[in-house]
Amino acid sequence: MSALLRPSLVMLDCDGTMFDSYEANRSFYDAILEDLALPPLDAEGRELAHRMSSPQLFAHLFRDDPGTLARALEAARGRDYTPFLFRMTPMPELFETLEWLHERYKTALVTNRGSTIPRLLEHFDLARHFDLVVGIHDVAHPKPAPDMLVRCLEHFRVPAGDAVYVGDSPGDLEASRAAGVRFVAVGELAGAADHSLESFADLRRALA
């Protein structure tokens, strides 16, 4: 990571960046679909479940069936995510890195999660590491729209050039570009990012 990265605000994605939550999300949505007597997610659905908010995912899956879409959204609102938190695996050095970041920067969690955020924060004791948490219920549009990143910039009164967003998905990249924020990719998006990391554990060493 080059010396150009001297941010005052570090914003972090959750799923795929801080946590390996692929199995947790797949299991959560499969349980909802089972409640509706529908088949489990296919390969495309499993991938989208890891990137999209619940409304985005169901709108895609049931774009031609508004009745089932309404039922799925209602089922998701009533489904407790707590049993699935145990299938989320923190990335290596996650908590040490979060503590290090919070001592040095303004920090924000920016995620396409909504109603599952409070349980997530409590289960992993995450709230103490962040000055601000922004999810889909806090803005008009989820990622890949820039709304959540813009909200953070406005909250901290930080210009876009003094902030970075750390994520792993094309939606994270698109949101960063739209907000004018530098994007730090964890994993496969290295070629498209302003800066790239092989793993989340590299973030602390890179900024240091």
Per-residue confidence (pLDDT) for residue 191, from 0 to 100:
59
CB 50 within 8 A of CB 22: yes
Per-residue confidence (pLDDT) for residue 157, from 0 to 100:
97
Pairing of strands 19-20, 163-167: unpaired
In tens digits, the chain (208 residues) has pLDDT values of: 444 467 999 999 999 999 999 999 999 999 999 999 999 999 999 988 878 889 999 999 999 999 999 999 999 988 899 999 999 999 999 999 999 999 999 999 999 999 899 999 999 999 999 999 999 999 999 999 999 999 999 999 999 999 999 999 999 999 999 999 999 999 876 556 788 898 999 998 888 7
* For residue 144, cis peptide bond before it (omega within 30 degrees of 0): yes
Q: Where are the alpha helices (DSSP H) in the chain?
A: 22-35, 43-49, 54-61, 66-78, 82-85, 94-104, 117-123, 147-156, 170-179, 202-207
Per-residue confidence (pLDDT) for residue 138, from 0 to 100:
97
Per-residue confidence (pLDDT) for residue 78, from 0 to 100:
86
CB 201 within 8 A of CB 93: yes
Q: What are the extents of the domains in the chain?
A: 9-20+88-207, 22-85
CB 9 within 8 A of CB 106: yes
Instruction: Kindly report the pTM of this predicted structure.
Output: 0.89
CATH topology of domain 9-20+88-207: Rossmann fold (3.40.50)
CB 109 within 8 A of CB 134: yes
Q: In sequence order, which residues have a C-beta less than 8 Å from that of residue 6 and are 6 or more positions away?
A: none
Q: Tokens in use for 15? A: 């799923």
